[in-house]
């Protein structure tokens, strides 16, 4: 008990306690801010991974389209509904209510 009283009477204890309270709750980089920064960093890493995979996929598709004319023609027909002069294109769309 006597040691506890001496501890509370020590000015260095109070300065250290005040410093810790200030750093944990009132500073610009308090615990809540650190948690939010961590969440944001995690979200950005997830987005980075997604866009890295998408970039690799698009690069692969681009290399296939530039090297293979048959693949380029298939892509143009499916994506942009292009056709040859002597062809007709029929687009069949399923209604969502006809499941």
For the chain, 99 residues long, give each residue's pLDDT as a single digit of tens: 778 777 778 888 889 999 888 888 888 888 888 899 999 999 999 999 999 999 999 999 899 889 988 888 888 888 888 888 888 877 788 888 755
Query: What does the alpha-carbon distance between residue 68 and residue 64 come to, in Å, rounded to a whole number?
Result: 6
**Predicted pLDDT of residue 56:** 97
Q: Whole-prediction pTM value?
A: 0.56
**Locus of tokens 């920064």:** 37
Any residues with CB less than 8 A from the CB of 71 and at least 6 apart, and which? 64, 65
Q: What is the pLDDT of residues 31-44, one digit of tens each?
A: 888 899 999 999 99
Alpha helix segments (H runs only) across 2-98: 2-9, 11-21, 31-67, 69-80
Q: What is the pLDDT of residues 77-90, one digit of tens each?
A: 888 888 888 888 77
């Amino acid at each position: 008990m006597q040691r506890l009283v001496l501890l509370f009477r020590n000015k260095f204890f109070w300065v250290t306690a005040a410093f810790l309270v200030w750093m944990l709750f009132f500073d610009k980089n308090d615990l809540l801010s650190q948690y939010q920064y961590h969440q944001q960093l995690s979200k950005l890493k997830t987005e980075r991974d997604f866009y890295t995979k998408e970039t690799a996929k698009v690069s692969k598709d681009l290399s296939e389209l530039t090297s293979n004319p048959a693949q380029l023609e298939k892509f143009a027909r499916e994506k942009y509904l292009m056709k040859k002069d002597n062809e007709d294109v029929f687009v069949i769309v399923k209604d969502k209510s006809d499941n």
